Chain A
Amino acid sequence: MVQEPGFDEFLDFIAHFSHELTSGTGPEYALVRTVAYFGNQTPENIKAATNEIVEGTKSFENAWADFGHKFNETKFSRLVELLGRFLEKGSQVGGERMLQVIKQVRKNNAMTKTRKNLISGQRVKVLALSLVSSIVMGMITALAPMLSLAFIGGLFTNPIHTPLVSFPSALLIALFLTVIITGYRLNQTVEGSMRTLILLVLAFGTTYVLTNQLLLAFL
């Protein structure tokens, strides 16, 4: 998954606004001009903010602060806040500085996209690994009583003795929980969807049942 749409457009908007500011106009006029330039492409909350300024219901500082609070993600609100702080003392210098910050933010943006790509590339690997792990766990669960040294020693004296894992055993519960924890942690790291947990649990259960049935058939 690449960076969700919106941030690039938002950067364009802020950059245009800063550019308007550098020509020496006041922030109110620059904002109105920028909204007019972007037309329908303007984000909804920016439009609301400009309406409030034009109608005179709010001062620019208050409208701009409210605008910052409207974003859920910090990457938007931090930029708005930074520009607001720059504008408090002087719009022309603030605009010039903001253009420089935006230049760096664009670079940052490219780098975060690289990391996001890397993470999403690992998602398949993680899925495969956790799937294999739950399959192996399921197999070991069914085989566990037969792996013990006591059982292997007993084979020489009493070969018909076949202990199987009964259904609600401590081992089964323990491994079920371990599979869920492993899958959850790995998915959390690669920001994957938690629906794969169902797949892991199914793989674990199926392998356990199949191995158990095979043992019943052969022993």
Chain B
Amino acid sequence: MNPLEYIPLLAKIGKSVPGACFVGEHLVSNEFEKAVDFLYEKSVRPTPILGGVLVLSGLLFGITVTVLSLFLNFASTLILSITITSMFSLILINSISMKYRQTITQIEKHAPYVLEELATIFLATGSVFESIHYVSRGDYGQISIAFSKMISPLNRGVAPEQLLMDFAKQQPSITLRRGLMAFIQLVEATNNSLDAVISDAHENLQRHYERLTMQWESRMMVYSGLLVFLPIIILLGAAIRGFASNPLILLLPVFQFGASRVMQKILFPNELILLGE
């Protein structure tokens, strides 16, 4: 169950509630718009999604205020409810942009090799169709899937350059877009800048990897610090409250296990593996 699948439903809610879209319109950022355009169909627009999120967080705010006011005083209820609601909506909106960025990374991981292959097959056989067909049979994730979708229009007689151009236009990764443009130029024999673009694509990937490497040390510091000091702090708190002899303390390793798993996923996303690693 992926929460991102329910976003179109959210957009419908946002559309049906008057005024929500009006507020949402002022909150749309450029990247969010691009992400929604890429991830969902044309009928799903970014503004109603934000409106839906607003409606949902309003509901959540109401529920948290009602529930928390049974246990806490007014000021604490208000502060906690605002925190919970804003965290929820921020995480929801961010997850869409994050998914978009992950997709770009996935595409750019394969981009240099796809371009190399396109160029090789084209230079060897002189046929664009052969190149597209070849990449579609490869193991390049989303790119191969997109290329295999081009086969049936190709068989119907659509020009391969046109198909590649269409694919390049709706491409979120700038690297692949530039590479495909250069490939089309190579096919039309106007300009051979493909080699330069391919080495750019490689360097792009390497820069990304280098950045992750540079971040690794600080990520490791945060990870080890949290892993080491969290249980000690919790334990001290429990001991001072007199819970040390309580069997409930057995929840500590369970917590540690879960927390370490979550931190590992957040701090060390395994998103990039270079050829040669």
Contact = CB atoms under 8 A, between A and B. Distances in A.
A171 B199 contact: no
Contact size class for B? 35 or more
8 contacts: A97-B116, A104-B202, A130-B228, A133-B228, A171-B249, A175-B231, A182-B260, A185-B260
Contact of A85 (B134, B268, B275): B134
Interface string B199-223: 1001000100110010011001001
Contact of B120 (A89, A132, A175): A89
A125 interface: yes
A75 B235 CA distance: 44
B71 to A, nearest CB: 23
Nearest to B130: A89
- Looking at chain A's contact residues, the main secondary structure is helix
A93 B257 contact: no
B83 interface: no
Contacts of A173: 250
Contact of B232 (A109, A126, A136, A189): A136
A182 B112 contact: no
A216 interface: no
B240 interface: yes
A144 B231 contact: no
Interface string B224-245: 1101110110011001111011
Nearest to B124: A90
B220 A122 contact: yes
Contacts of B112: 104
Contacts of A170: 245-247, 249-250
Contacts of A178: 231, 252-253, 256
A112 B216 contact: no
B134 A140 contact: no
B264 to A, nearest CB: 7
Interface of A: 7, 75, 78-79, 82, 85-86, 89-90, 92-94, 97, 100-101, 104-109, 111-112, 114-115, 118-119, 122, 125-126, 129-130, 132-133, 136-137, 140, 143-145, 147-151, 165, 169-171, 173-175, 177-178, 181-182, 185-186, 189-190
B138 A85 contact: yes
Interface in B150-165: none
A109 B276 contact: yes
B276 A182 contact: no
Contacts of B246: 170
Contact of A149 (B209, B236, B240, B252): B240
A149 B240 CA distance: 5
A150 B202 CA distance: 64
Contact of A111 (B117, B123, B209, B268): B209
Contacts of B235: 137, 140, 144, 175
A189 B265 CA distance: 11
